[in-house]
A and B are shown apart, each in its own frame.
Chain A
Amino acid sequence: MSTSARSSLVIVGAGLAGVRAAESARNAGHDGSIVLVGAETALPYERPQVTKEALLAGASPRHYVEHDQLVGRLGVQLRLGTRATGLDRRRRLLRTADGKIGYDALVVATGAQPTPCPWGNLDGQVSTVRTARDAVLLHRVLTGRRRVVVVGAGLIGSEIASAAQALGAEVTLVERGCGPLEASHGRSLAEHLARLHRTAGTRLVTGAAVTSLVRAGASVAVDLGSGERIVAEHVVWAVGVRSDLGWLVGSGIRVAEGVLCTTAMVTNDPAVFVAGDAAQVVATDGPQAAPRSMSQSMAAAQGLVAGHNAVTPPGSWSRTTATPYFWSTWYDRRIQGVGVPSARSTVLQEGGGTLHLYEHRGRLTGAVGIDAKASVRRVRELLREGSSSGAHAAREMTGRPA
């Protein structure tokens, strides 16, 4: 496989998607250079641990690949601690804070960043969480503080609440909906997940919007729309993420919430690809694109496709077909979501666990399991086989130990 036409591959963003793109380009036979540009100074690390083991331990998460492998085996030139600031597509130059880098093919893998708190960080008393550094800092804060408010009960906010509890803090979790994941997965799952928090002793305030955050001496006062005021020593703002793509403004690359691409992970410029949380797939080239699923497995699967396609001719491009999948762990309970949710769901109790099965027009579309590993595995198989009705899946699950 000749790759001389694409001899210089530049990957922007050294997270999972970026690493996978580099490995995949080598697997595809790319023997030219690979430059990995990343704003963080650390080698790519296990981001999910930022709100799990790393937050509990106050230590940095493990790396995906060690320096020797990345530089030695994969021949990657690392430019860590370097932020991309602009793109000149005509001259095929990436602008960074420390100079320009030429490319033949470029992969954008800059991920997403927490939505900032509209009231600022109040001199460090309000924080957001995304990086290894955030985990180490938050660990210190949580260990010393009695009262903590976490705003947003999504997967990340829920994990932070769980870790804060484990570290001995008194936690109030503030959520707009009736429970975690209501907007994406519906009421019955949200209510179930709300019970997990409450059973564990976390105070969950639902249907609540924060109307102001102000300093109150050494504390922060959190005002809710209901008129309630909660006073705490620290606030974690975890209402969601968005991709900071300001560096692409003016480049001509089409951007909406993410960088727009096809299922081949190519943008409107055939030399520019995208993968992971920064990507927004639009289905212009296939039957159906998966919804924007910001997860480890999407980052890996899209990195694989983007890295391959960036160094091969369009005739041999691959496309993402991965089934969306996420997991999360709170209070030692494993939550796993596979496939896509839909409006109709059936709830099955199995052993110590629960499975929420989703179907659309009689067809199984996905499921969320809570301590239901075996059933989630079975749903994954049924989705792979692609022929299962929701009712059939439900019959098959019943009686299986979760």
Chain B
Amino acid sequence: MSAFELDSSRCEGHGVCVDAAPHLLALDDEGELVLLAETFGDADADAAADAALVCPVAALRVVGPGEASS
């Protein structure tokens, strides 16, 4: 299992990440990013990795199993 780590001080609600993984991420009505699942499995790993890399302000990161959050 891997998980998203969102740096909320950087996230500006651009929603670019949502296009890459609409089943894992969404924007709420206030334009805040919502993680639809706390963790995800291997089947979603590629979409999640892409979602993190397309964020234009580098607010989203994928942390692998056992990786301490910093």
Residue ranges of A at the interface with B (Cβ–Cβ < 8 Å):
16, 19-20, 23-24, 27, 46, 48, 62, 64-65, 295-297, 299-301, 303-304, 322-323, 325, 327, 336, 373-374, 377, 380, 384
Q: A64-B58, A304-B54, A373-B13 are in contact. Are A322 and B19 (CB under 8 A)?
A: yes
Residues of B within 8 A of A (CB): 10, 12-16, 18-19, 22, 27, 29, 31, 49-50, 53-58
Which residues of chain A come closer than 8 Å to B55, judged between CB atoms? 300
Contact partner of B49 (CB less than 8 A), chosen from A27, A374, A380, is: A27
B49 smallest CB distance to A (angstroms): 5
In contact, B53 and A296 (Cβ under 8 angstroms) = no
Given A325-B14, A377-B31, does the pair A20, B53 have CB atoms closer than 8 Å? yes
In the complex, what distance in Å separates the CA atom of A323 from the CA atom of B12? 18
The answer, among B12, B22, B31, B54, for a CB contact under 8 Å with A384, is B22
Known: A323-B19, A325-B14, A380-B15. Is A300-B31 also a contact (CB below 8 A)?
no
Which B residues are CB-close (under 8 A) to A323? 19
> Is chain B's binding surface mostly helix, strand, loop or mixed?
loop
Evaluate whether A297 and B53 lie within 8 angstroms (CB atoms) in the complex, with A322-B19, A377-B27 already known.
no
Contact residues in B for A48 (Cβ distance below 8 Å): 56-57
Contact A297 B56 (CB under 8 A): yes
Task: Point out the residues of chain B lying under 8 angstroms from A380, CB to CB.
Answer: 15, 18-19
User: Min CB distance, A371 to chain B, in Å?
Assistant: 11
Closest to A326 in B: B56
Say yes or no: A374 contacts B29, CB within 8 Å.
Answer: yes
Q: Is the CB of A384 within 8 A of B19?
A: yes
> Of the candidates A19, A297, A374, A377, which one forms a contact with B54 in the assembled complex, judged by CB atoms under 8 Å apart?
A297
Q: Could you say which residues of chain B place their CB within 8 Å of the CB of A23?
A: 53
A325 to B16, CA, bound (A): 8
Distance in Å from the Cβ of B31 to the closest Cβ of chain A?
Answer: 4
Known: A65-B58, A374-B29, A377-B31. A304 touches B16 (CB 8 A): no
- Measured CB to CB, the nearest residue on chain B to A68 is B70
B18 partner residues in chain A, CB cutoff 8 A = 380
A374 CB → nearest B CB, Å: 6
A36 CB to closest chain B CB (Å) equals: 15
Distance A64 CA – B60 CA, assembled complex (angstroms): 11
Residue of B nearest to A336 (CB): B14
Chain A nearest CB, measured from B62 CB (Å): 9
Closest to A325 in B: B16
How far, in Å, is B35 (CB) from chain A's closest CB?
16
Say yes or no: B19 contacts A24, CB within 8 Å.
no
Within 8 Å CB of B56, what residues of A? Answer: 16, 48, 295-297, 299-300, 325
Closest to A373 in B: B31
List 8 extra interface pairs beyond A48-B57, A373-B31, CB under 8 A: A20-B53, A24-B53, A48-B56, A64-B58, A300-B53, A300-B56, A377-B27, A380-B15
Pick the residue among A65, A297, A373 that contacts B16 (CB under 8 A).
Answer: A297
Residue ID in chain A nearest B67 by CB atoms: A73
Q: Chain B residues with Cβ under 8 A from A303's Cβ? A: 53
8 pairs of residues in contact across A and B, judged by CB atoms under 8 Å: A19-B58, A48-B57, A64-B58, A296-B56, A301-B54, A322-B54, A323-B19, A380-B18
